[in-house]
Amino acid sequence: MKYTGLIASAAAIIAAVFFIAYISGKQAIPVITGSRGAPAAAATSTDASLVGSAAPSFNLLGASGDSVSLSGFSGKPLVLIFWSSWSQPSLDELRIVSDYRANPDAAAPLVSFLAIDSEEDPSVALSLARRSGYNVPFALDSSGAVTENYRVTGLPETYFIDRSGVIRDVSAGVLGRSALVDKIENLVKQ
């Protein structure tokens, strides 16, 4: 009995900390879902081994049927968001990025954005992309090969790639607007 109260108190404190972090928008909120929504460890940190290295190249199908490749963004910083329609945190992240693009700051026009749907039926992803109203270009990684090459550990996961194609930062979970703006400003300076 004594331990039940202790566990409930600890859970309440942890929930309060995550809620405060979420509303403050100052840091990423960890992802608690894994593949296809199955429980997984919180993605509070990512595989930082890619930071400082060249971004893996890709060639994917865009939402409008066009080909989308990393080389197509050459010379301009890129914010790359891995997401899936079954992940509510992914949809939250896309809304934040979409709102940022609709109400940009000075750095926004200097940066490209791409949301890569990970390992999902293309018709589901395309349907969501078309009806969502998100102001973010979409591409499909149906096979999961690009997701694997980027060593994505949870969704959403956001990569900040400089104009030379080097990964400068990786964030797991939902970024608040102010954290997104800070990371974009740092990316543009590089």
pLDDT value for 79: 97
56 prior amide bond cis, ω within 30? no
Q: Tens of pLDDT along 155-190?
A: 999 999 999 999 999 999 999 999 999 999 999 988
Contact yes or no for 82/149 (Cβ under 8 A): no
pLDDT value for 162: 97
pLDDT tier at 42, thresholds 50, 70, 90: very low
Query: Is pLDDT of 6 > 70?
Result: no
pLDDT tier at 120, thresholds 50, 70, 90: confident
Classify 106 as helix, strand or coil: coil
29-189 has which CATH code? Answer: 3.40.30.10
64 or 22: whose pLDDT is higher?
A: 64
Q: What percent of the chain has pLDDT over 90?
A: 53
Picking from 172, 152, 156, the residue whose alpha carbon sits closest to that of residue 45 is 172
Report the interhelical angle of 177-189 vs 88-102 (nearest 10°).
60
114 or 134: whose pLDDT is higher?
A: 114
Q: Tens of pLDDT along 66-85?
A: 999 999 999 999 999 999 99
pLDDT value for 133: 84
Residue 25, Cβ density class (10 Å: 0-12 exposed, 13-18 middle, ≥19 buried): middle
Contact yes or no for 166/55 (Cβ under 8 A): yes
Q: Calculate the dihedral angle through the C-alpha atoms of 80, 56, 144, 131, rounding to the nearest 10 degrees.
A: 20
For residues 9-29, average pLDDT: 46
Which sequence spans correspond to the domains of the chain? 29-189
